[in-house]
Structure 1
Amino acid sequence: MCHSKMQWISSWASGETRVILLPEWMSHQVHQFIPITCVVTADYQLIPGHGYYKVHNVLLTWDEGRRLCEMDGAHMVVFDSQEEADAVFEIADCCPWVGVSRQNSRSPWMTVLGQPLSSTGFTGWATGYPLESGNCNMIFKNNGIGMINWICSLNLGVICEKPLN
């Protein structure tokens, strides 16, 4: 899902020029912007039949990971099948955040796309999960690929996804 973005071109003291994607709502905070369209770049890996994925190994809270994906014109990965979860886990380091969370222990699990987890086609929990506490999900491998829920302030990597269409 591509959202309207602005491209910030910044010249650094070293003479290096960096291009940084920012959400359009941040455009008033910086000065030199160029509108761009969503482009799948070389740093996203295609998994045929599923989408484009990028693993960020920088340690972030769940909400920081969500914002990072959005700033890249993507969303945190939401699995549609066990096959997709298995394929994506092959390119990821252990236990990155995925795009599933809940407001509190009594609320339903929802994806970053606003759909209930039960409607995604993948509701695979690791053995013994979900726990009563912990409102954000990561993917974990222990006798198969499954989700585990944990506290959202934990710092983990994140997987971003751009759909095929």
Structure 2
Amino acid sequence: MNRLGCLMLAVLTAGCAFCKKCPASGSTNLQMTVGSRRNISGHWLISVDAYGENSRSIQQLVRDQKGLVVDLKHGATYCQGTETQHLIVNAAVPGAAPPEGYKPMSGLGYYKSYLTPLTWEKAKDKCEEDGAHLIILDSEKETMVIKEFFARKPQISGAAHNVYVHAGVHDRYKEGQYEDVLGTSVPVSGNSLWHAGQPNGGAENCVVGTSIGMYADAPCEWKLAFICEFA
């Protein structure tokens, strides 16, 4: 669901100083752990920790990253006749720029609000024209995007309600089974992102973000302001 704005890749092997005994001679195993987070500009940062006795395995990993400009630092340790190679790799990949008018939210992504009220379907189409999508709340932190929108007291004319914005979630395909506009299931039970008493079903098959940054279901025909997300 996310585009890579900037990839920082770190490859590190552990030396025998941290081992109780040396690995068996001739081992070519390679173990890796991957983690990710967003930086302040909304770009994804990904780290990779790798360990292996056969240095060619890690070097091949680096060579396979076509298009990367790689900064490589190399070292080696020795233990009971076994040589372990260590590589620290930094690589950067430029990502697509956000659409015009989209502002970054620290650690999340880029967002743009539209004050001209549209139905849920037309709002969805407008976001997609931008190369983005209606806002999807993936965390408690992301509710701040909606809260800050309403805190600015935007001047919205002609909306069905001025305390809601369209969100990228719906149950139009099957009643009670919510999913976001990217096709990912959105649970109801145990999900703290839903407003108290919501969703209440019936003819309300689209989802809005309330002024306190939480989900509620609503009629898809309501014309509301909306927030698009580029991440």
Give the drift of 1:67. 0.3
Deviation at 1:42, TM superposition (A): 4.6
Bigger RCO (CA 8 Å, 6+ sep): 1
Q: How far does the alpha carbon of each residue in 1:52-109 deviate from its partner, in whole angstroms, 9 at most, with x for none?
A: 0000111100000000000011011111101111234303553110000012663410
Per-residue CA distance 1:36-58 (angstroms, 9 max, x = gap): xx641451110011000000111
Q: Quote the residue 2:62 is aligned against.
A: none
How far apart are the structure 1 equivalents of 2:146 and 2:228? 10
Contact 2:123 2:134 survives alignment (8 Å): yes
Q: Residues 70, 42 of structure 1: CA spacing in aligned structure 2 closer, same or farther, 3 A cutoff?
A: closer
How far apart, CA to CA, are the structure 2 residues paired with 1:122 and 1:71?
Answer: 30
Give deviations 1:96-152, integer Å, cap 9, x for gaps.
100000126634100001000139x965111221112201011113xx431111110
The structure where helix makes up a greater share of residues is 1
Q: How far apart, in 2, do the equivalents of 1:71 and 1:156 lie? A: 18
Q: Which one of the candidate residues 214, 218, 226 is aligned to 1:146?
A: 214
Q: Which has the larger radius of gyration?
A: 2
CA distance 1:103–1:65, change in 2 (3 Å): same
Distance 2:136 2:191 in 1: 9
Whether 2:205 is the aligned partner of 1:135: answer yes
SS at match of 1:70: helix
Verify: 1:66 aligned to 2:157, yes or no: no
Unaligned runs of 5+ in 1: 3-37
**What TM-score do the two structures reach when normalised by structure 2?**
0.49
SS at match of 1:79: coil
Hey, which bits of structure 1, 4+ residues long, moved more than 4 A? Answer: none
Aligned Cα root-mean-square deviation (Å): 2.7
Distance 1:82 1:56 in 2: 22
* TM-score (normalised: structure 1): 0.67
Partner of 1:32: none
* Structure 2, gaps ≥5 residues long: 3-95, 155-162
Percent identity reads 28
Equivalent residue for 1:47, pick from 89, 97, 105: 105
Count of aligned positions:
127
1:116 maps to: 185
